Amino acid sequence: MNFAKRFTIRSTAAAMMGLALGTTGLMTSHAANAGEVTIWAWDPNFNIAIMQEAAKRYTAKNPGVTFKIVDMAKADVEQKLQTTLASGVTKNLPDIVLVEDYNAPKYLRSFPGAFESLSGKVDHKAFANYKVNLMTMGGKVYGLPFDTGTTGMYYRSDLIKQAGFTDKDMQNITWDRYLEIGKQVEAKTGKKMFAMDPQDIASIRIMMQSAGRWYFDKDGKLDIKNNPALKAALETQVKFMKTGVYKPTSGWGEWVGALNKGDVASVITGVWITGSVKAEASQSGKWAVAATPRLNVPGSTNASNLGGSSWYVLAAGKEKAAAADFLNQIYAKDVDFYQTILQSRGAVGSLLASRNGKAYSEADPFFGGDKVWQKYSDWMSKVPSVNYGIYTAEGDAAVAAQLPGLAQGMPVEKALENIHNQLASQIK
Amino acid sequence: MAPKPTTSYRRFYDVNGWLFVSVALGLIGVFMAYPIVRSLWMSLHAGQGTVVEFVGMGNVVRLASDPVFLKALQNTCIFLVIQVPIMLLLALVMASCLNMPNLRFRGLLRTAVFLPCVTSLVAYSVVFKSMFSYDGLVNHALAWLGLIGEPIPWLNDPFWSKVVIIIAITWRWTGYNMIFYLAAMQNIDKSIYEAARIDGISAYRRFVSITIPNLKPVILFTTVTSTIGTLQLFDEPMNITTVGTVFSDNTLTLSMYIYNLSFKFVPNFGYAATVSYVIVLLVAALAAIQFYAARERN
């Protein structure tokens, strides 16, 4: 789900909210009754609301099991989990916890034995392959894949037409073509093509994964200096900065504000942005959706991923059996549940069967009557699987550190070398 | 040779005395001594989360070749060297202005200057973040005054983001230091100023030759505490200049790096503990230098 928003939540209210909510969580999980499954997650409008719906469905069939869903800021969930696991005192841990996909391999590797293997309890073949791969370690699958961050390009068809392009021109394009269109759009309409924080590396991650590459290769070894996808991504980023085709913003609020105020003609990001795009009802019918642009490197596809998270069962949880059964019954089998959360929350789950449901084939008048969800589920099955490895955060930091230099004209080869050196020193 | 039964010796073996302090000693042991010793032990280990091994001085060796650590150290030093002198000078000037006996609305003005340091760190950071954003108040004001054509990328640029942090900490902490100076100024004997005035000494000379020397112990105190505060700088860079997934490299401080190593990156508590000890050593060394520089010379 909503990836950038979570950071804003963290950086503003987290410190205050976290303390208050965190302590309540600690104290209440102590008093867990028999048969009460405790769950930690973030974002009341998305994950929490979806979990409440899932819990309602499960309790209807299994009245003996109750749920305690604790809402915390994302950073607090991560901190509490990390510190509690590191301390070795497990009795305050929940039964189920939400983990962002980028963090999953790191937790599995750093805290062996802390998470319960769900192999044999859940049929993981029913889920999108790339989600299952990142939670597999030593042949065992540890989580239950939840929402995807499948990416797409949302664009203002009215502005694109004004610039002299048709909807057909936007399908399955490259980033270079996207940039050309962007220049036209600015010349003809005076609007920028997209909004971006010049320090954010989200678009670089999208580009890299679209070519099936990451900071690390399949064996987890550093893959920087000879990584064509990362190189092309950095070059594209430099082109963005040099042509000034984007509106610079800082923070989630300004970024979404640029979309809703009509300052920009497109946004390329994870599917979780849908709700925010649709928040401006006056723009209904003006937006359309096309596939993510691809890089000019072999193997790059018009499908990628940004963000997304999954549910994990903790091995120390008292109710871990009930927790696993709950996840299996609802998240791995209940196709109707996925229709409900898609319609009410815009959540695209990674259960492949959910795509056959009714809600996925419905046309959305906001997007000019397009069957948006069908497109997303199609792209979801094409997202190349990559090995995030355990050092994604370190990789992001190393790339972000080079962006100011690149903007000032540093050669991309030099930046790649710096990224390699920084990462090599960090992953000891 | 047998120890002489002095008073202090007898006191050492007095059970009642130990009983009186035992609770305090126990608490200090558990909540101060143990964490210190344990974190030192921790800093000799490295690894991922709970998978750690003893590396001895390995973490210290790693520090030397870690570009992120060096960057954080560099940023922290820039903040320290530029911000602390500006702030203390400003506080001194403000204190001496607000100490003028014939100043009107003194109470009100003193409160106004002191007010920033009772605001919440997070709340004021959020306000600064919005003021200095692209579409923020500061850029609008500067554009309206005709000083800038293009908005300044306050929060994204390596140089300007540091400026914002320096402005923010100065805003927050100047009043705090001013209060110390104000209190100390009121303890300076007024007759010294009177004598100086009769001798025809200018206001500037009175400030430099009477006020500052008399405030020396307080200036030393504020310098040491401000140094410690800046070396532990975390809230402002975290809340004002952090974007996206990672802390901005432009304003990364040592404390933020410790946070990254413990909670954002693969948890490496041993290495994080080592970086914390770097702060401890820096604080100790800088305080020693400051005490040495301010010592009484006979």
Nearest Cα neighbor of A109 from A391, A422, A425 is: A391
Top pLDDT among B223 and A30 is at B223
Smallest CA–CA separation between B50 and chain A, in Å? 6
Instruction: Give the confidence band of A7 by pLDDT, cuts at 50, 70, 90.
Output: very low
**Beta-bridge partners for A68:** A38
Q: Which of residues 123-142 of B touch A (CB under 8 A)?
A: 126, 129, 133-135
Per-residue pLDDT at B5: 56
Q: What percent of chain B has pLDDT over 70?
A: 96
A315: contact with B, CB 8 A cutoff:
no
For A130-141, what is each residue's pLDDT tens digit? 899 889 999 999
Q: How many CB atoms lie within 10 A of CB B157?
A: 17
pLDDT band per the 50, 70, 90 thresholds, residue A14: very low
Q: Decide which of B8 and A334 is more confident.
A: A334
Residue A218 has a pLDDT of 87
Nearest to B68 among A112, A404, A422 (CB): A422
Task: With a cut of 60, say whether residue B7 has pLDDT above it.
Answer: yes
pLDDT band at A10 (very low <50, low <70, confident <90, very high): very low
SS3 for A144? Answer: strand
Beta bridge pairs of residue A153: A268, A290
Selected residues 77-136 of chain A with any CB under 8 Å from a CB in chain B: 78-79, 82, 85-86, 88, 106-107, 109-112
Residue A195's pLDDT is what? 94
Task: Give the Cα-Cα-Cα angle A11, A17, A20 (nearest 5 degrees).
Answer: 150
Chain segment A196-251, per-residue pLDDT in tens:
988 889 999 999 999 999 999 988 899 999 999 999 999 999 999 888 899 988 77
Integer CA distances (angstroms), A97 to A39, A70, A243, A324, in order = 6, 10, 43, 12
Contact status, residue A192 vs residue A184, Cβ threshold 8 Å: no
Task: Give me the pLDDT at residue B12, please.
Answer: 77
Question: How buried is residue B270: exposed, middle or buried, by Cβ count under 10 Å (0-12/13-18/19+)?
Answer: buried
pLDDT tens, position by position, B72-126: 999 999 999 999 999 999 999 999 999 888 888 888 998 999 999 899 999 999 8
Task: Identify the pLDDT of residue B243.
Answer: 59
CB pairs < 8 Å spanning A and B: 131
Least confident of A133-137, A141-145, A321-325: A133-137
pLDDT at A24: 43
Q: Indicate if the pLDDT at residue A21 is higher than 60.
A: no
Q: What is the pLDDT of residue A343?
A: 83
Beta strands in B160-257 (DSSP E): none
pLDDT score recorded for residue A27: 41
Could you give the 3-state DSSP secondary structure of residue A165? coil
Select from A77, A80, A91, A85 the least CA-distant residue to A108.
A85
Residues 255-314 of A with CB under 8 A from B: none
Is B244–A421 a contact, with Cβ atoms under 8 angstroms apart? no
Residues A419/A227, Cβ–Cβ less than 8 Å: no
Read off the pLDDT of residues A390-400 as tens digits, 9 standing for 90 and up: 899 899 999 99
Which of A15, A106, A397 is the closest to B122 by Cβ? A15
Q: Is A353 on the interface with B (CB under 8 A)?
A: no
Which CA distances in Å does A50 have to A317, B94, B100, B268?
Answer: 22, 55, 63, 33
Q: What is the pLDDT, as a whole number, of residue B31? A: 96
Radius of gyration for chain A, computed over Cα atoms and rounded to the nearest angstrom: 21
